[in-house]
Structure 1
Amino acid sequence: MEKKKAIFQLESKGRSLIFALSIVSIVAYLLLSFGHFGRIHNIAIEDFPLIFLMVIGGIPITFQIIIKMFKGDLGADALAVIAIITAAYLGSYLACSLIIFMLASGQVLENYALARASAVLRLLAQRMPSKAHLKQGSDIVDIEVSHINIGDVLVLYPHEICPVDSIVIEGHGGMDESYLTGEPYLVTKAPGVMALSGAINGESMLLLHAQRRPQDSRYAKIMKVMEESEQHRPHLRRLGDQLGALFAPFALIIAAATWYLSGDPLRFLSVLVIATPCPLLIAIPITLISAISLAAKTGIIIKDPLVLERLPTCRTAIFDKTGTLTYGQASLVDIFTFEGFDRDEILQLTASLERYSKHPLAKAILTAAEASNLSLFEATVVSEKPGHGLTGQIQNHKVHITHRKKLLQTHPQHANVLPHLKPGMECIILIDDQMAAVMQFRDTLRAEGHSFISHLKPIHHFEKVMVVSGDRPEEVEYLAKQLDIKETYSSQTPEQKLALVRAETVKAPTLFMGDGINDAPALTAATVGLAVGQHETVTAEAAGAVILENTLSKVDALLHISTCMRRIALQSALGGMLLSGLGMAFAAAGFIGPVAGALLQEVIDVLAILNALRLTWKTTLPIHIKNT
């Protein structure tokens, strides 16, 4: 990899020198043309700078292209070799020099465009801190960020950038995560809240507990985009090569036919000059890297650039349920109270006890109490024995939180008074050993879920939307009904998910989205696999792209980015070929000479590159989904 990079850099420097030399030589030719300096060995004095350029610049470029041709890379550059040789043979030194200038400038423009398109990624690397403040007892020691270990206690001063994904353990303030998430406001930080690497701290000092190593943190994953994209040869670039391979013989046939019919070799040269080099070979990779950069800025890691080409062609969307279409967290949806008990009082007492518990449902109860603006009481004699539930003494009441199975084992007489078991989860509340309430929970649908699903067909042209989940049938059907999804598959094992995705991919290109280890096989089998969130490394490795923010709005953003990229790439490639074709026609008719043709092709190349850079300049994407 390093050897390839060194060779690329050397070639780039060589082309830059040839580009500079071609400018100097052409300017010298124009200046000398105003005088009458005579000839040496039948060669005009003003032609010598051009001949010097042909030897110093033309020969190396010609050999580079010939080597590529012998390796099977036959494209529009092959036309350049023929054009250079023809121009030199016919004594059209200025046309030959302009072709050399055009090839060298095309490389320089491409390097500039690639650098411009990759600016976001370079900026990410440059802004990451190199030092961190490690707290050791009462001392604070500066260490290299690379030396941070999980569990280290770090001090983050005001306005500093968070070095690793951490949990706040002391301090209150706000952090700017807009560079990572796109959200244009400060995110409140307090003990227990996650602080993302790359986020900018506000006015307060925070004490952090490192949760990941620097190389595993979110910021590091974004910075890996460039390296990963360089290691993949994207399909769109291969498509550009194929189009170039088709265009080159077409141009040669037109040029040869022009020479045969007109008998004028200068027309042959003019046609080749306008056809060389084809802008699609420059524009398509620039468009691709622009899209990767925009995705990284949006909070999306493109692991395989093929994702950007394939996404707009997908016609079947297959979603996992938990953590993808839902938040993957329980929410309190109903409280069934028994006679003599008040709903808010039950919730207040239960939440007062649950704040001492680590049970998955505790957070849902506390969230519900907070939403109802209920103050919490102090609890005493708190006990949580495995399998027995949670008990405690609150406001002179004995509160016991348990589950149906345990209750019926110890108090079978309550079987007739319990409400029917509903889909989801539940807990039963006893106060002073009396049945007080049954709380029911569900995994909550994402706020933007209905809007996202409903616009997949009209906006992104998906023809089928499916839910494939390992969850129970009643849970999957409940979700599908809310989202108006007709086709569902529940209680699916990873093997069954894999088989189903393979079967659907045979029928039409598929998009599969999931966030768990059990989704990994299906992610690899789909035409495009998207991993949501950072919960499972296995899932992220299997997916072609990773949506870092656990939100469907980022998935929508990726769909729009891929659509824009494909449209702009085709516009640049086909538009450049069309303009070149028109120019070739005028050259074949004798209206454009070799020199004018070289200048015209340079304009076409610049237009194609500017069009390819449009994604880099894009700051907003169409918004079609909303929270409900």
Structure 2
Amino acid sequence: MVFANSDRLKSALLLVAVLGLASGLVLFAVDKPHAATFAWRSGVVPVLVALIVEILRRLWRGEVGLDIVAALSMSAALFFGETLAASVVAVMYSGGVFLESFAEGRARREMSALLSRVPRTATRHANGTLVDVELDNVVPDDLLLIHQGAVVPADGEIASEQAILDKSALTGESMPVRLGRGDEAFSGSINAGEAFDLRVRHRAAESTYAGIVRLVEAAQASKAPMARLAERYSILFLAVTLALATAAWWFTGDPVRAVAVLVVATPCPLILAVPVALVAGLSRAAHFGVLIKGAKPLETLAGIKTLVLDKTGTLTDGRPQIISVEIFNGMSHDEVLHFLAALEQASKHPMARAIVAAARQRGLMLPAPEHVVEHPGEGISGTVSGRQVSVGGVSFINKRLAATAAASPMMNVGTVVVALAIDNKIAAHITMADALRTGTTELLAALRKLGIGRIVLATGDRRAVADNVTKGLGLDAVNSELTPEQKVHLVLAERKHGPVMMVGDGVNDAPALAAADIGVAMGARGAAASAEAADIVLLLDHLDCLLPGIEIAKRSQRVAMESVVAGIGMSVVGMVAAALGYLTPVEGAVVQELIDVAVIMNALRVLAIKPRIGKEEYRPKA
């Protein structure tokens, strides 16, 4: 329906049409009918010319829409001397185009807010001074100062004692969160507290926020199958409209009846409701941390029946965590963690980073280790607060302790035991594992409530590990030791149960994500390849973001269809009334515009969706 790409042109045409109608009414009121007719024609012709140009452009692209009905109604009204009706149609039509543009702009509000907040520069520590640099010049390991109220420009770790971040633009969380030293901070968050230092982990172009901006730009240019379906139905509606207008003229001999029918059918809710509702759905999903790469994936998401889950980093956290601590020498848990984490600060091993993060979460002050010696693949030793400390595998520590070694602990499938020795005596065994995410059982139950009837696991890990992790989850199938190619075959095979959604975060998941009807990537720590191949990116590494995303998709589709059915129904009733002589062309134009306004306002209800199944419903209480 849009006959120009420029919002300024849309506004100008509406102004011309309104001035033509208003001046004509004034002239008619002062008994100057010929001048009034000229004014009305003057307001119609520019709109009609612009409309015909747009119709020709669309026909050149192979598109046929209900703009033709609008052109026919204005042309017929002018030809048969119904200049007032033609002027009303011109105002209503140009007003409808303007209103549609305004509605879509309102629906894109959340996404546009993301784009407008992209930082351009950053403040970097350099040789004891602060220097403002272009964002493109920020590299990993740079230390940035994030001012109060500033947007975090790149992904990194908190390098100060604490930071308070507002993540509402990324996740929809209304309350700022408090982070400690070593915690992850994602680009796009806002510093809601005092200034803090950030250790950069990724270039700005590779960070979460930059990826969001790219996804938003792609999503805004998309068109859904439902929108294309609406266009195909519009051709049928066009045929019905022309047939009814011709019949009204044929049986009554009154061409004004035909004009009235054409006027009531202009414009049609088919080409208003669907794009506005779907774009609003994209915007609303983004507010809850679900970036959907267009209207087509949004529509497909509403009909998903099977969910295929990767294990590491998806069903599990993807990082080792402390599961239990066995203490041998009477020390407290915090004392063990103090010596363990203090020494592990010198290591870059993923388990070392997990241990340090656990200590900081408990508020422990960690001194810098001294005389550190790392034994690659085995362990690390050094001095902490004047005491000799060694950390590593059980066999490594037992060799160093000889006769004083403790018995090797029993290890469950998928766990690793780290041994701690202090002053040549065994102090503790720390059991670590890539644990199942908290609340996973409740999450899967909530997904089934939303219509996903089959949930299966697809992992490259060993069968024993997969079975241990998924015990008690009630999955429909557990598939282990899969290659990337086998994951693709699994996704394709699951299609016999209905549309398939695949969730993953690694490079090895990218082919399966691309093969699925809907691919979902864990965006915060996931691989770039998986985010590129996916249709949806979760801005946080939490599967619970899927819940509001799926619910918004379903309700957006339902609102779009409700608007189409109600709008078309009312239009058909109006057309029949016009054909029977109960509506004049002017009255028909006003009635149709009221229908269009109602349709657009109904579609915008999507922006107010508050998911009924959300985080608070199933997340375990603290």
> Do the aligned partners of residues 390 and 145 (structure 1) sit closer, same or farther apart at CA in structure 2, a change above 3 Å counting?
closer
CA distance in 1, matches of 2:357, 2:184: 18
Q: Would you say 1:107 and 2:102 are equivalent positions?
A: no
- Aligned pairs (5 A) from 1:169-568: 169-170=159-160, 172-335=162-325, 344=333, 350-351=340-341, 353-365=343-355, 382-392=372-382, 400-403=390-393, 418-427=408-417, 429=419, 431=421, 438-458=429-449, 460-534=450-524, 535-568=526-559
SS in 1 for 2:592: helix
Deviations 1:141-170 (A, max 9, x none): 334444444444433333333333333334
Q: Would you say 1:587 and 2:578 are equivalent positions?
A: yes
CA distance in 1, matches of 2:388, 2:85: 96
CA distance in 1, matches of 2:374, 2:61: 71
> Do the aligned partners of residues 409 and 94 (structure 1) sit closer, same or farther apart at CA in structure 2, a change above 3 Å counting?
same
The worse-fitting range, judged by mean Cα deviation, of 301-310 and 184-193 is 184-193
Q: Which residue of 2 aligns with 1:41?
A: none
Which of residues 41, 46, 52 is equivalent to 1:62?
A: 52
Q: CA deviation at 1:420?
A: 4.5
Question: In 1, are the aligned partners of 2:48 and 2:71 still within 8 Å (CA)?
Answer: no
Q: CA deviation at 1:525?
A: 0.6
> Do the aligned partners of residues 254 and 175 (structure 1) sit closer, same or farther apart at CA in structure 2, a change above 3 Å counting?
same
Q: Which residue of 1 aligns with 2:151?
A: 161
Q: Would you say 1:626 and 2:621 are equivalent positions?
A: no
TM-score w.r.t. the length of structure 2 is 0.89
Q: CA deviation at 1:379?
A: 6.7
SS in 1 for 2:471: helix
> Do the aligned partners of residues 137 and 236 (structure 1) sit closer, same or farther apart at CA in structure 2, a change above 3 Å counting?
same
CA distance in 1, matches of 2:390, 2:229: 67
Q: Would you say 1:73 and 2:63 are equivalent positions?
A: yes
> Do the aligned partners of residues 305 and 409 (structure 1) sit closer, same or farther apart at CA in structure 2, a change above 3 Å counting?
farther
> Do the aligned partners of residues 147 and 395 (structure 1) sit closer, same or farther apart at CA in structure 2, a change above 3 Å counting?
closer
Which of residues 14, 26, 33 is equivalent to 1:31?
A: 26
Question: In 2, are the aligned partners of 1:75 and 1:247 still within 8 Å (CA)?
Answer: no
Deviations 1:44-74 (A, max 9, x none): 3321111222333323323432443454322
> Do the aligned partners of residues 366 and 64 (structure 1) sit closer, same or farther apart at CA in structure 2, a change above 3 Å counting?
closer
CA distance in 2, matches of 1:394, 1:144: 40
Question: In 2, are the aligned partners of 1:387 and 1:406 still within 8 Å (CA)?
Answer: no
Provide the identity percentage: 31
The worse-fitting range, judged by mean Cα deviation, of 378-387 and 239-248 is 378-387
The worse-fitting range, judged by mean Cα deviation, of 181-190 and 571-580 is 181-190
Residue 209 of structure 1 aligns with an amino acid whose one-letter code is: R
CA distance in 2, matches of 1:357, 1:54: 76
Q: CA deviation at 1:380?
A: 6.3
Deviations 1:417-474 (A, max 9, x none): 645442012225375777776543221221231111012222x111111111111212
Question: In 1, are the aligned partners of 2:20 and 2:44 still within 8 Å (CA)?
Answer: no
Question: In 2, are the aligned partners of 1:427 and 1:438 still within 8 Å (CA)?
Answer: yes
Q: Would you say 1:16 and 2:47 are equivalent positions?
A: no
CA distance in 2, matches of 1:29, 1:570: 39
Q: Would you say 1:569 and 2:560 are equivalent positions?
A: yes
TM-score w.r.t. the length of structure 1 is 0.88
CA distance in 1, matches of 2:128, 2:344: 35
Q: Which residue of 2 aligns with 1:578?
A: 569
Q: CA deviation at 1:75?
A: 2.0
CA distance in 2, matches of 1:367, 1:73: 57
CA distance in 1, matches of 2:531, 2:273: 30
The worse-fitting range, judged by mean Cα deviation, of 168-177 and 48-57 is 168-177
Q: Could you say what the CA RMSD is over the residues aligned between the two structures, in angstroms?
A: 3.3
Residue 607 of structure 1 aligns with an amino acid whose one-letter code is: A
> Structure 2, unaligned stretches of length 5 or more?
none
Q: CA deviation at 1:592?
A: 1.2
Residue 544 of structure 1 aligns with an amino acid whose one-letter code is: D
The worse-fitting range, judged by mean Cα deviation, of 215-224 and 87-96 is 215-224
The worse-fitting range, judged by mean Cα deviation, of 550-559 and 478-487 is 478-487
CA distance in 2, matches of 1:197, 1:416: 46
CA distance in 2, matches of 1:623, 1:284: 26
Deviations 1:581-610 (A, max 9, x none): 111122222211211111100001111111
Question: In 1, are the aligned partners of 2:159 and 2:198 still within 8 Å (CA)?
Answer: yes
> Do the aligned partners of residues 566 and 14 (structure 1) sit closer, same or farther apart at CA in structure 2, a change above 3 Å counting?
same
> Do the aligned partners of residues 55 and 378 (structure 1) sit closer, same or farther apart at CA in structure 2, a change above 3 Å counting?
closer
SS in 2 for 1:276: coil
> Do the aligned partners of residues 275 and 423 (structure 1) sit closer, same or farther apart at CA in structure 2, a change above 3 Å counting?
same
The worse-fitting range, judged by mean Cα deviation, of 99-108 and 80-89 is 80-89
